[in-house]
Amino acid sequence: MDLEAPADAWYVWLALSILSVAVTGIVLGLPTGPPPDAAEAANTIERTAGATYEANSVYEHDATALKVHGPTVALRNEHGMSRATLAYGTVVPVMGNERLENVTAGTPFGVEYSDELEDPDIAATTAFFEDLAAANASNSGEWVPADSELRTRTVGVVSPSVDVSVEPEEWGMGDTTRSMEFLYEGNTETQIAISTTGTHWGKDEPQTETQHVKVDEGVGGHRYSLHTDDGPHNQIHYPFDIDVRAGGQHVCHETITRADHGEKVAVCDEPEGRIDTTDDLEWVEQNDRTGRYHVTLVDA
């Protein structure tokens, strides 16, 4: 009996060895886990974005990177990538902007933008939308690092609006007035600047005096008095001009005449007294009735 192996057996062995190594390589190259669930991430975002009130949510995931481009959300990790499309509008990815990240995490808008709310030359909503536009331009369509949580928050902010009226004090023959009562009303806390420009008694050139006042939500007022001394310069001649600035914008103007002596005169009213804070941005929705803007922020 011949117990020797055939002469070409080593060829067979070599072929089987190569095939075994190749199959092992293929197996080792296969993913060992699923890619992140972009569909569930999108569902979480939409439940927040679709709320009729300010809402927030947190979605835990295993992605290492996130990309938001318009209504498309994509997640990826070492196992692969998945994407989903939002049916409800678009969102703003805010990664890299500390203030917006804080707002997304729950810091009230009024706290994070308190400096702008106290400044009559800046509209806090304008600063907010400028930050959002910058974050959107930086992050949209780009893969950005992601941790284990996808945080979403829908924020509603008010488009400030003010009503201002003035009532000159009825005094003397009506050629001048020595004081006037300003009344104002706002739909939210707003800093405004009221400027009075006119010629004072005994002066040749018009002068402008400006008062900065804080308009709270509701009705307020103050008396502007020219009683600075006992001389003749504590009176202002008719006509004189009243100008109102809010949020860095000139929002209204009115000329006060002798016929307005002792009368209440409207300087600002709707829609003249509303501060324009944004153009038509695709990721902002505005309620025309309330003047509130709604935007959904996402931070990975």
Burial call 163-174: b when 16+ CB within 10 Å, e when fewer: bbbbbbbeeeee
Element (H, E) at 38: helix 38-49
Domain that holds residue 295: 38-159+278-299
70 and 138, same structural domain?
Answer: yes
155 and 43, same structural domain?
Answer: yes
200 and 291, same structural domain?
Answer: no
43 and 147, same structural domain?
Answer: yes
Query: Is this structure's pTM higher than 0.75?
Result: no
143 and 42, same structural domain?
Answer: yes
Domain count, the chain: 2
59 and 148, same structural domain?
Answer: yes
155 and 46, same structural domain?
Answer: yes
234 and 86, same structural domain?
Answer: no
293 and 144, same structural domain?
Answer: yes
Task: Say if 8 falls within a structural domain.
Answer: no
pLDDT tens sequence for the chain (300 residues)? 444 545 555 555 445 555 554 444 444 455 578 899 999 999 999 999 887 778 999 999 999 999 999 899 999 999 999 999 998 778 999 999 999 999 999 999 989 999 988 887 788 888 899 999 999 999 999 999 998 999 999 998 887 788 999 999 877 667 888 889 999 988 877 888 999 999 987 788 898 989 888 887 777 888 887 755 555 557 889 999 999 998 778 899 999 999 999 899 999 886 777 777 676 788 888 776 666 888 999 998
Burial class (CB in 10 A: 0-12, 13-18, 19+), 142: middle
286 and 193, same structural domain?
Answer: no
What's 251's domain CATH number? 2.60.40
